[in-house]
Amino acid sequence: MRVVIANRGEIAIRLIKACKAHPDLRHKLQVASTSLARLVKYKSAGTVEFLVDDKTGNFYFLEMNTRLQLTKIVLVKFQDVVSGNTTTGILDHFNYQFCGLEFKDGGLYTTVQDFPGRPHRESGVPVSGPMDALSFRRPYDTKEFITSEGRQRFFETKWKVAFNSSRGGIRLDGPPPEWSRESGGEGGSHPSNMLGYGYPLGAKLHR
């Protein structure tokens, strides 16, 4: 069991050690996890996360990953041991079985959660989770993303160098996309504001 409450990417509360939870609570979490895994046809799961109210015993499902996640806290406890050795030692105690997941290359229907910035893996990434349709193609994902029409539109557009540019890269601010929402919408990370953040362009533009 792992409980994480995050705000704007900064972890505010992190509680680990399921062994300290009441046995009845651990049993309920286990039953809920296996029931959910069967429902979505998972044959194995790496990390399952719940948000638990320690006063009432109520819990809420947060996330189930198809891969094992090792937290920094696991390694911090063994500062006198090389991190790599600690990690592999922990993994030696897990019995992995082929879970029959369908693998595919990075693309439109690749799950965002299984897509940590490195889509071009020879084995592909597993298809799972509710965000398959929200994975957008970008220059880092698909070589064919940059077209001659796009380059022409880029150089015909008026841009302004953003304040957070640096020697390593330039970030340009320009007009909102033609498909952007004119009526505003909700603030923050609401789906109505789904927009890829600008990436620093390569240093070639400095020349």
Which segments of the chain have a pLDDT < 50? 1-16, 70-83, 98-104, 106-137, 194-207
Mode of pairing for the β-strands spanning 2-7 and 10-16: antiparallel
Q: Identify whether the C-beta of residue 111 lies closer than 8 Å to the C-beta of residue 131.
A: yes
Residues 12 and 66 in one domain: yes
User: 128: domain range?
Assistant: 103-141
Residues 193 and 133 in one domain: no
Q: pLDDT digit string (tens) for 38-92?
A: 777 776 666 777 777 767 777 777 777 665 554 444 444 444 444 455 555 655 6
H/E run at residue 30: helix 23-39
Residues 37 and 83 in one domain: yes
Closest CA to 155 of 164, 163, 146: 146
